[in-house]
Structure 1
Amino acid sequence: MHQVAIQNTDTPRQQLNLLRKMQAGRLNAAFLLAVAQLVVLILQYGLLAWLLGTWLEMGVTQGWQAGQRELLVQLMPWLALCLLMRPALQWGRERLSQEASLRVRSALRQQLLAHLAHPAQLGQQASSEGYLASQLLDQVEALDAYLRRYVVQAPLAVITPLLILLVIAPISGLAALLLALTAPLVPLFMVLLGKAAAASSRRQLQSLARLSGRFADFIRGLTSLQHLGATATAEQMIARSAEGYRQKTMSVLKLAFLSTGVLEFFAALSIALVAVYLGLGLLGILPWAKEVIPVPYAQALWILLLAPEFYGALRQLGSDYHAKADAEAAMTELMPLLRPTQWQHPGCQPYPPQPLQANPPALSWQQLRVVTEAGRTRLACPGPCHIESGQSLLVTGPSGVGKSTLLEVWLGALAYQGQLRVEGEDFLHWRLDDWLRQLDYLAQAPRFMAASLADNLRLACPDAEDSQLLDALEQVGLGAWMADRTDPLAVRLGEGGRGLSGGQLSRLALAQLLLRGRPLWLLDEPTAHLDPQSRREIHQLLHQLSRGRTLLLVSHHTEGLHWVDHLLDLGQQEEADASIHAITLA
């Protein structure tokens, strides 16, 4: 599968070029078919003009019926061939373009889904699921018209006028000059209006994504809204969002109709000038050429037939230019999701894959610091810290001090300053995919899908047998709950795990960790939303389940955690001379 390589300095236009290169073969073939279709069209109009011009001469010199049948028999096979070739070439062009667009969008969606499912991103995505769904569906779909039409039409809009001018210029230099002088007006207005259209399209896509996210969130929480009597307020908020989206959509349509009207006006004006010149020439009343026919009838007819095609490609490009504006707006929204995780420092050399370790890793760090692009310090841990293989560390401290940031560093989600080591080796020697196979990460709010209990457990281990699932549930303390049910694995959960209590969902998340069997656990406030009794029970359960594993546990609460090997209080960094060490918890 092709990958979309996103760099921090890339623009949406550069990213669209990368997408286009993913299917360059099909798109180039579609362009060649479009050029062949243009050549066939020019020949077809030439044959028609020759046929009608010859018939007119025969009607004047030999009578209307003399020789017409013979000429028609001679030209009909060629006309029929042109008439059959044009739709065949058009079908081939559209089929190749559609296939290229489908493949690019499919690959892009797979990469987005893989990125969103990445453990390093689970704590990073603050957007609602509805907003993300809109990005995956609507905004990726907005690239279709760009890939299917604009990519081929853009070079075709340059080739078509040039090729037609090459045909017309030997016949009538003045007609070619009239067309050439008016042609630049079309792309000029297209660019001027296109900039406004791009900004308007971006606002429309953002409004659609917000509307989708808000609607999905309200649907998910509909039961709670009904209990609180807040459905009327929710309806008003949805109505306001829908009205905002309607207004932004109408502004996009207004610009589209305005640009199309301007392009049609200039095209019609230019064709009319050419028609007036040729018509007066055939009548012999041109001011500078009295009683002279500068362009014979057949050739004049050929020029008039080609004149609309001269502007047709430009007009079509003007229409498709809005597809480019929509695509750039969509790519602007998608680029943050496609940016690769900041893993290695600039200039760090790639290392070969690391083998999967069976033993839990020993971790250490010193002078660790994470600073945002804006210069804000997210984490400052100046002192050395070391965790032996199979030991546990409780990371605590006030909100905002960097507890979750520490886990994100070990997930490879953030660039950092300082030194991290795994088993004494530099952390940067690991490739991200290799390292993530060593660990499991549990966020504050584990996500469950609306499916059976077995399906949710098999998200962690797709090949697990039913006996393994039941054993994992037994280990996390759900044995009594299973005893009351004839087939506990078939119990269906609602959206977000509805049907189980908070404590049961926490145990279910731990069962997923057991099924994956990774040697390193990173847990971010796994008991944040539980009552004190449930919190103590889960903490004691962690004591049993984490044996033989290296554990980094982030929590505000220490009750029931007397068993941890080390405590790291990041709040001590506020003291002037503090040296933060992992100290034994009493």
Structure 2
Amino acid sequence: MPKQAQGTLRRAALLSALAAALWPLQALALAWGIGGWVTEAAPQASLAAAGAFAVIGIVRAVADRIAARLAFHAADGVIHDLRQALLTREARRPGAAASSAALAAMLTEKLAILGPWITRYRPAMARTKLVPLLILALAFYVSWAVGVIFLVAGPLIPVFMALVGMAAKEASARQMVEIGDMNTLLIDRIAALPDILLLNAGDASRAAFEARAEGLRERTMAVLRVAFLSSTVLELFSAIGVALVAVYVGFSLLGEVNFGTWGTGLTLAEGVFLLLLAPEYFQPLRDLAAAWHDKAAAEAVADELDALEADETTPVLGQGARAEPLAGPASVALSSVAVRRGDQLLALPDLDVAPGESVALSGPSGTGKSTALDLIAGLLTPEEGQVTVAGQALACEIADAWRARVAYVPQSVHVPDMTLRRFLDPHDLSADMDAALRKARAEGIVAALPEGLETVLGETGAGVSGGEARRLLLARAFLTGADVILADEPTADLDAANGGAIIDALAALAAEGRTVIVATHDPALSGAMGRVVTVGEGAA
């Protein structure tokens, strides 16, 4: 937790404890007023007692409000910082251990669970450290019998609270896992919805979802059972303690009990004072018990955060921010590069691509062709060796500037939720869009769309095929002036017409002097490039 948030929480806890510690003064004023009213003392005394009670109550309310506001702002800041740090880290970490659904659950539902713990636990702990001891001392001062009752009943609550806390944390941890699994299943089912409908698998999918929902219900009910059980027992202890004080005070005032005080009998004002102190003696302990469940849930979330932070996947180089293009030649070189895959290192062949050269990376699947492209784009960091771009070692400091010169055409195209015009010209360069579309053999794709360049395709590129989406990306490369083109299996799974159009577009880019590097199994595409480099088995 940041130091600033810790300081704010300390102030909130101190204010909350001081506000609670004012109750004995209120109780004293009320008991004094009631005692004076019954004994028919001067009316001014009762009015003074009522005034003191009201003033102290206002001071308590103001202090409580300020403490709550401080705690809320501290919690809001901590959750915001954690969410931002998690988003920033995971967005730059390719192939991270957490699925997007599990990450979404952490960012939305699970991090929010930290709020009650931050706002309630530390103030409750501060009140518990101060108020019961203060009331215990006052009770012993008035009546040692009531002090003994408090001394015996009070410690039972934290002892039982600790026992319940272990079970609560375990139940909360299972619930957190189930929430993540539920989100993962939901995202998977939404993504596979067209296939589910085509295969008529709706009933099976619904049954799987119902089973997962039932598992989440059971985990949630387990947490609630622990919470209600502990609440019942703690309320029982506090109710017994308050009842014993009430019985003792009542019989003492009736003259049936003649012990428990320091030599003199218990007066009405003293009896009322003790009765008013009794509930507030147990209240901080009850508050801490409730906050203990928040702590158990927060610890379960913290364990998941620690697991995410323990993921050693190397983040993407750079910050992903817009930058001015990196100066220097459009050259690329890989030297003695190896990438870690699990416990093994995948060695890649040395590669030296001159500006304006077109190169095809060929070889069996899984040998590192796509990995080489990711390394060149700064999306992966080599375990060994060096990647050189534009005459400089590719590092975090220049990665964003280098990517400003790169156009990447992946196998699966992701289209942001924006119009096609804005997607093709994200920086509003006002270039000749028609010419770029013609060069990419994509003018017919736009013409066939219902709203042309104003069409919003959506993240899955609905309305265009995979090959058409890749041609649109190539048009974007023409338009933005990217002088390094990386294409990962751009003709995979395409018919001859679409594949040929992409090959022609890549050849046109190379003819304009752009550096073009493709990973492919397609002999026609390899033949259209100026040079073929074999990756993996049989590499020279």
TM-score, structure 2 normalization: 0.83
Q: Tell me, what secondary structure is at the counterpart of 1:497?
A: coil
Correspondence 1:385 to 2:351 = yes
Correspondence 1:212 to 2:175 = no
Residues 176, 447 of structure 1: alpha-carbon distance in 2 compared, 3 angstrom cutoff: farther
Alignment of 1:472-483 (within 5 A): 472-483=436-447
Correspondence 1:508 to 2:472 = yes
Alignment of 1:119-134 (within 5 A): 121=94, 124=96, 127=99, 129-134=100-105
* Deviations 1:215-244, CA, capped at 9 Å, x for gaps: 344345444433332222222122112111
Q: Which of 538, 555, 578 is the equivalent residue of 2:520? A: 555
Aligned to 1:49: 31
Correspondence 1:255 to 2:226 = yes
Q: Which of 463, 487, 491 is the equivalent residue of 1:499? A: 463
Aligned to 2:503: 539
Aligned to 1:306: 277
Displacement after TM superposition at 1:105 (Å) = 3.2
Q: Within 2, Cα distance between the matches of 1:415 and 1:428? A: 11
Residues 521, 341 of structure 1: alpha-carbon distance in 2 compared, 3 angstrom cutoff: farther
Correspondence 1:95 to 2:66 = no
Correspondence 1:446 to 2:413 = yes
Residues 31, 531 of structure 1: alpha-carbon distance in 2 compared, 3 angstrom cutoff: farther
Aligned to 1:70: 44
Residues 456, 174 of structure 1: alpha-carbon distance in 2 compared, 3 angstrom cutoff: farther
Q: Within 2, Cα distance between the matches of 1:247 and 1:101? A: 29
Aligned to 1:105: 79
Q: Tell me, what secondary structure is at the counterpart of 1:197?
A: helix
Residues 470, 72 of structure 1: alpha-carbon distance in 2 compared, 3 angstrom cutoff: farther
Q: Within 1, Cα distance between the matches of 2:400 and 2:139? A: 61
Displacement after TM superposition at 1:416 (Å) = 0.7
TM-score, structure 1 normalization: 0.77
Q: Within 2, Cα distance between the matches of 1:505 and 1:286? A: 91
Displacement after TM superposition at 1:273 (Å) = 4.6
Q: Within 2, Cα distance between the matches of 1:371 and 1:486? A: 46
* Deviations 1:423-476, CA, capped at 9 Å, x for gaps: 555445846656655645444322224553235446xx2x41666655544443
Aligned to 1:350: none
Contact persistence 2:329–2:391 (CA under 8 A): no
Aligned to 2:383: 416
Contact persistence 1:370–1:416 (CA under 8 A): yes
Displacement after TM superposition at 1:548 (Å) = 4.5
Q: Within 1, Cα distance between the matches of 2:13 and 2:243? A: 30
Moved more, 334-343 or 293-302: 334-343
Residues 402, 159 of structure 1: alpha-carbon distance in 2 compared, 3 angstrom cutoff: farther
Aligned to 2:289: 318
Displacement after TM superposition at 1:42 (Å) = 2.9
Q: Tell me, what secondary structure is at the counterpart of 1:371?
A: strand
Q: Which of 3, 7, 12 is the equivalent residue of 1:30? A: 12
Q: Give the number of aligned pairs.
A: 532
Displacement after TM superposition at 1:126 (Å) = 7.3
What residue ranges of structure 1 are gaps of 5+ in the alignment? 1-16, 59-63, 346-353, 582-586
Q: Within 2, Cα distance between the matches of 1:468 and 1:22? A: 52
Q: Within 2, Cα distance between the matches of 1:90 and 1:174? A: 32
Q: Within 1, Cα distance between the matches of 2:438 and 2:471? A: 10
Residues 247, 396 of structure 1: alpha-carbon distance in 2 compared, 3 angstrom cutoff: farther
Correspondence 1:82 to 2:56 = yes
Task: Give the residue type in structure 1 aligned to 2:117.
Answer: Y
* Deviations 1:519-574, CA, capped at 9 Å, x for gaps: 544444344443454234323322333554444433343431224354443322xx
Moved more, 425-434 or 393-402: 425-434
Identity %: 31
Contact persistence 1:358–1:519 (CA under 8 A): no
Q: Within 2, Cα distance between the matches of 1:152 and 1:201? A: 22
Moved more, 273-282 or 83-92: 273-282
Aligned to 1:5: none
Aligned to 1:14: none
Task: Give the residue type in structure 2 aligned to 1:146.
Answer: W
What residue ranges of structure 2 are gaps of 5+ in the alignment? 318-322
Q: Tell me, what secondary structure is at the counterpart of 2:518?
A: strand
Q: Within 2, Cα distance between the matches of 1:432 and 1:485? A: 35
Task: Give the residue type in structure 1 aligned to 2:353.
Answer: I
What is the CA RMSD across the aligned residues, in angstroms? 3.8
Displacement after TM superposition at 1:497 (Å) = 1.5
Aligned to 2:320: none
Q: Which of 391, 401, 413 is the equivalent residue of 2:367? A: 401
* Deviations 1:145-181, CA, capped at 9 Å, x for gaps: 2233334333343333344345445445564455345
Residues 444, 177 of structure 1: alpha-carbon distance in 2 compared, 3 angstrom cutoff: farther
Contact persistence 2:12–2:123 (CA under 8 A): yes
Q: Within 1, Cα distance between the matches of 2:198 and 2:422? A: 30
Contact persistence 2:28–2:273 (CA under 8 A): yes
Q: Within 2, Cα distance between the matches of 1:112 and 1:210? A: 19
Contact persistence 1:139–1:334 (CA under 8 A): no
Residues 495, 26 of structure 1: alpha-carbon distance in 2 compared, 3 angstrom cutoff: same
Q: Tell me, what secondary structure is at the counterpart of 1:447?
A: coil
Task: Give the residue type in structure 2 aligned to 1:41.
Answer: W
Aligned to 1:571: 536
Contact persistence 1:130–1:209 (CA under 8 A): yes
Task: Give the residue type in structure 1 aligned to 2:283.
Answer: G
Correspondence 1:365 to 2:334 = yes
